[in-house]
Amino acid sequence: MLLCQCLARIHPNSFFNSFFMKKTVVSLASVALLLAACSRPAPPEEPIRAVKVMTVGASAYSSSHEYAGEVRAQIESRLGFRVGGKLIKRQAELGQHVNAGQVLAQLDPQDYRLAADAARAQVAVAATNRNLAAADFKRYQALMDQNFISGAELERREATLKAAQAQLDLAQSQLAVQGNQTSYAVLTADVAGIVTAIDAEPGQVVAAGAPVVRIAADGVRDVVFSVPEDKVAGLKVGAPVRIRVWAQGTELQGRVREVAASSDPVTRTYPVKVSIDAKTPPPLGSTVYVVFDASATASTPVIKLPTSALRQEGQTTTVWVLDKTRMTVSSQVIQVATADGNEIVVASGLQPGMLVVSAGVHVLSPGQKVSIYQSKMPLAQMPSSQAAPDSIAKSVPAVPAVSSSSAK
């Protein structure tokens, strides 16, 4: 308006002044409308979201631990020759069932036979010397009876006879040893079982005691697995466990038979053996899962939350806690101890009675107003798996739908 008054003073013509002022007012109104269109609109109010909540409470910790194991024989022998030599024949085959006393492998016995022959010859020499000394002693004893010789001479003949007898005993013992050495060139099974490993082949020179054949004895089967150091204290000899066969899907019962006193130097775990209580145990080498209840922690009440309630903020784990008086949520840092199925065990950060958001946690912000979700389905019609306890709070009423005719 100030601009129009100035222009009116410059142009005294009333018609011109009236026309020019109208044009100026129209232009200023247009500019004002354009400026109003370019300005930012007011931000819309943040919607009140419906969330599911649960009441924090203490419950029993019924977690169980599961370990992968392998079926083995309770007695597994690594058989080898008691003497060294060249392996010339191996009758045992991998996976073969053998009986006690069955020949498994043989060494070249030629050297042991020659040594036995030499020992046998030594026995013959010693026997001849003993017989000669016995004849002399008998003859000199007759002369002594007739007082033709002294007693000292008879005693010398008796000493010679005893020495010859000792030489004969020594030769016979050496012959027995060489005979055993010859028999040791044949490896036989000491128990009935299944051949699980072959450690030597024909033509190989093996040392005395080196494993050649490994046999798993028939009888009771064990499940062997390893447990970490923090779990071995909860295992006791005789404790019952459940065994699930991976290939067959069957479940067996067993008992802890042996817990190692020291850890494995490589894995730093403790080997455990469980005997299988079954008439028909799984095949050797089968993969099984051993499950035992963690009774040490079962009686301790703990706070558990579903995994859907967790959020990750940097290096911390948080949950949304509902303030029921103001109906706003706030972030609460918690410490997770372990997992129990689809739930987590909270070590610290929550107290019984708190309301924690259990679903829709990723669309909330600190201080945001929320409403409590409630399912439209009546509780009587809900399946038993969906009938939540009082930990699920009540929800906001549903918004009525708008029909197409009313929208028009």
For 333-376, how does the pLDDT look when each residue is reduced to its tens digit (9 = 90+)? 998 887 776 788 888 888 888 899 988 788 888 888 888 887 66
For residue 369, what is the DSSP state?
B
Highest averaged pLDDT of the listed ranges 18-32, 163-177, 289-303, 351-365: 163-177
The whole-angstrom separation of Cα 181 and Cα 84 is: 10
- Conformation bin of residue 134: beta by default, left when phi > 0, alpha when psi is -120 to 50: alpha
Residues 214-249 pLDDT 10s = 999 988 899 999 999 888 887 888 888 889 898 887
Share of the chain above pLDDT 70, in %: 77
Does the structure show a pLDDT above 60 at 13? no
Q: List the one residue out of 209, 149, 213 whose CA is nearest residue 184.
A: 209
As a whole number, mean pLDDT of residues 271-299 equals 77
Tokens 């972030």, located at residue: 331
Per-residue pLDDT band for 139 (boundaries 50, 70, 90) equals: confident
Q: How many CB atoms lie within 10 A of CB 273?
A: 18
Higher pLDDT among residues 392 and 257, named by residue: 257
- Alpha-carbon torsion (68, 74, 78, 79), positive or negative: negative
CB proximity list for 265: less than 8 A, separation 6 or greater: none
CA-based radius of gyration for the chain = 49
H or E segment and range at residue 40:
none
As a whole number, mean pLDDT of residues 265-287 equals 88
Residues 28-80 pLDDT 10s = 556 555 555 555 665 666 677 788 888 888 776 655 678 899 999 988 999 99
- Alpha-carbon torsion (111, 113, 117, 120), positive or negative: positive
CA 30 to chain CA centroid, Å, is: 79
For residue 76, the one-letter residue type is: E
Predicted local confidence at residue 325, as pLDDT? 86
Predicted local confidence at residue 128, as pLDDT? 92
CB proximity list for 377: less than 8 A, separation 6 or greater: none
Predicted local confidence at residue 137, as pLDDT? 87
* Three-class secondary structure of residue 101 per DSSP: coil
Specify whether the CB–CB gap between 334 and 346 falls below 8 A: yes
Q: How far is CA 308 from CA 6, 311, 346, 364, 393, in A?
A: 72, 8, 14, 14, 16
Specify whether the CB–CB gap between 396 and 371 falls below 8 A: yes
The β-bridge relationship of strands 49-55 and 370-372 is: parallel
Per-residue pLDDT band for 20 (boundaries 50, 70, 90) equals: very low
Predicted local confidence at residue 37, as pLDDT? 54
The whole-angstrom separation of Cα 87 and Cα 106 is: 6
Q: List the one residue out of 407, 90, 76, 109 whose CA is nearest residue 224.
A: 76
H or E segment and range at residue 140:
helix 110-145
For residue 287, what is the DSSP state?
E
Predicted local confidence at residue 315, as pLDDT? 85
Regarding pTM above 0.75, the answer is no
Predicted local confidence at residue 121, as pLDDT? 93
**Phi, psi for 406 (deg, rounded to 5):** -70, -30
Does the structure show a pLDDT above 80 at 136? yes
Predicted local confidence at residue 235, as pLDDT? 83
